[in-house]
Chain A
Amino acid sequence: MRGLSVAVGVIALAATAFAGEIPRSERRSGYDFMSRETRAMQDDDTANPGMLWVLEGEALWNRKTGAAGRSCADCHGEARTSMKGVAARHPSFDAARGRPINLEQRISVCRTDRQQAPPLVYESRELLALTAYVARQSRGAPIDVAIDERTQPFLDSGRATFHRRQGQLNLSCSQCHDDNWGRKLAGNVIPQAHPNGYPLYRLEWQGLGSLQRRFRNCLVGIRAEAYEYGAPELVDLELYLMWRARGMTIEAPAVRP
């Protein structure tokens, strides 16, 4: 039944694809737009600074915390197997909240509900580390978010945000990333805005950051007011970008300029 509804959903979406959408054969990871040196930084785990967060995340995964006195590993066991593909399926629908939640939120829910520990602040070192560690287990997995009757409205909302002109520059995400990818903005090539490397190490940040941090940078760039971390608008946008990048492989933790 669920399989059927998914299939129907995909057919319906294909029919309503926007004219400016990037055809599957032309989809390219941000990796493909980078210099040889930056690619080398990502490819070599012993040179990729994002692995420092993965290492910290592994330690956090095994640490007992909260009133429940449980570690992530106590419930989920070996992350290499239990977390494989998980990042490729987020945002995913959360029944209790009645909406899709992203990987950071999923980790936070686990932490507050199961471990009974204080929530981790968005973009904190701990949350980034845990997210990086979990996402690392999906490296190489194809993006496959579930679009069905429950998630479809949120996908539509994310798509609308992507195509809505905003900010003082009156630009939509789509105008840069669908219509002008491969061209230059200041000194850099405009990528296609695929979310397949997050959380990732951005040389600009000199650190690891989430997809929502990147969204907020983009919004500042077009002189729009940035949504708060974890805002439903940003989670819906994440869902749309993941769907838009379906089939592409997870690179987390990627490196980007």
Chain B
Amino acid sequence: MASVLINVPARAKRGEIIEIKTLISHPMETGYRRTQLGAVIPRDIIRLFVCTYNDTEVFRAELHPAIAANPFIVFSTVATESGTLAFQWTGDNGFSVTESAPIVVEGPDMAPHTPQRSEPSRGTRDGPR
């Protein structure tokens, strides 16, 4: 089973730029490694990650073997309306995983094209280290 960790704010102000962080368990086997007996280990990677926001694509990443195992992808989107953010990872050997996260968007419509410049959050530490 592939486990997925998605970090999306549950609530956002309309027009706010939200940061989305995703982690998925996958070996991202490069196809360039060999076993100790010299046999090539076949490539097995996630090739594509797509995020849609209420069915409209807002982000896509095309991955190659140089993406680290258990791919971690951080990107942003403008909170436009309440609804669903859907995530799909597809790759070699029929790999396909979808996940979604709800988002509640509040507040009046902000003037267009004035994205708020905010520092990307480094996430929160859950409890003491």
A–B touch (CB < 8 A): the answer is yes
Residues of A that sit less than 8 Å from B by CB: 31, 40, 42-47, 49, 51-53, 55-56, 59, 139-140, 206-207, 249, 251
Contacts A46-B21, A49-B23, A206-B27 given; indicate if A55 touches B122 (C-beta within 8 A). no
A49, A51, A59: most-surrounded residue (chain B CB, <10 A): A49
CB-based contact B128/A46 at 8 Å: no
Residues of B that sit less than 8 Å from A by CB: 1, 3-5, 7, 21, 23-25, 27-28, 68-70, 72, 122-129
CB-based contact B23/A43 at 8 Å: no
CB-based contact A45/B69 at 8 Å: no
Contacts A206-B70, A207-B69 given; indicate if A51 touches B23 (C-beta within 8 A). yes
CB-based contact B23/A249 at 8 Å: no
Which residues of B are found within 8 Å of A207, using beta-carbon distances? Answer: 27, 69-70
A82 and B103 CA atoms in complex are apart in Å by: 33
Shortest distance in angstroms between A257's beta carbon and chain B's nearest beta carbon? Answer: 13
CB-based contact A140/B23 at 8 Å: no
9 cross-chain CB contacts under 8 A: A44-B122, A46-B7, A49-B70, A49-B72, A51-B5, A56-B3, A206-B27, A206-B28, A206-B69
A11 and B72 CA atoms in complex are apart in Å by: 48
Which residues of A are found within 8 Å of B4, using beta-carbon distances? Answer: 52
A56 and B23 CA atoms in complex are apart in Å by: 13
Contact of B129 among A31, A47, A56 (CB under 8 A): A31
Which residues of B are found within 8 Å of A31, using beta-carbon distances? Answer: 129
A140 and B128 CA atoms in complex are apart in Å by: 5
Which residues of B are found within 8 Å of A206, using beta-carbon distances? Answer: 27-28, 68-70
Closest-by-CB residue of A relative to B69 is A206
Which residues of A are found within 8 Å of B21, using beta-carbon distances? Answer: 46-47
CB-based contact A139/B23 at 8 Å: no
Shortest distance in angstroms between A216's beta carbon and chain B's nearest beta carbon? Answer: 15
CB-based contact B125/A44 at 8 Å: yes
Shortest distance in angstroms between B26's beta carbon and chain A's nearest beta carbon? Answer: 10
Shortest distance in angstroms between A39's beta carbon and chain B's nearest beta carbon? Answer: 9
Shortest distance in angstroms between A11's beta carbon and chain B's nearest beta carbon? Answer: 30
CB-based contact A47/B23 at 8 Å: yes
- 19 A-B pairs besides A44-B124, A52-B5 with CB distance below 8 A are A31-B129, A43-B122, A43-B123, A43-B125, A43-B129, A45-B125, A47-B21, A47-B23, A49-B23, A49-B25, A49-B70, A49-B72, A51-B5, A52-B24, A56-B1, A56-B3, A206-B27, A207-B69, A249-B129
Contact of A55 among B5, B69, B127 (CB under 8 A): B5
CB-based contact B123/A46 at 8 Å: yes
Which residues of A are found within 8 Å of B122, using beta-carbon distances? Answer: 40, 43-44
CB-based contact A251/B129 at 8 Å: yes
Which residues of A are found within 8 Å of B72, using beta-carbon distances? Answer: 47, 49
Shortest distance in angstroms between B30's beta carbon and chain A's nearest beta carbon? Answer: 10
8 tightest Cβ-Cβ pairs between the two chains A and B: A140-B128, A44-B123, A46-B7, A206-B69, A49-B70, A52-B25, A46-B123, A45-B126
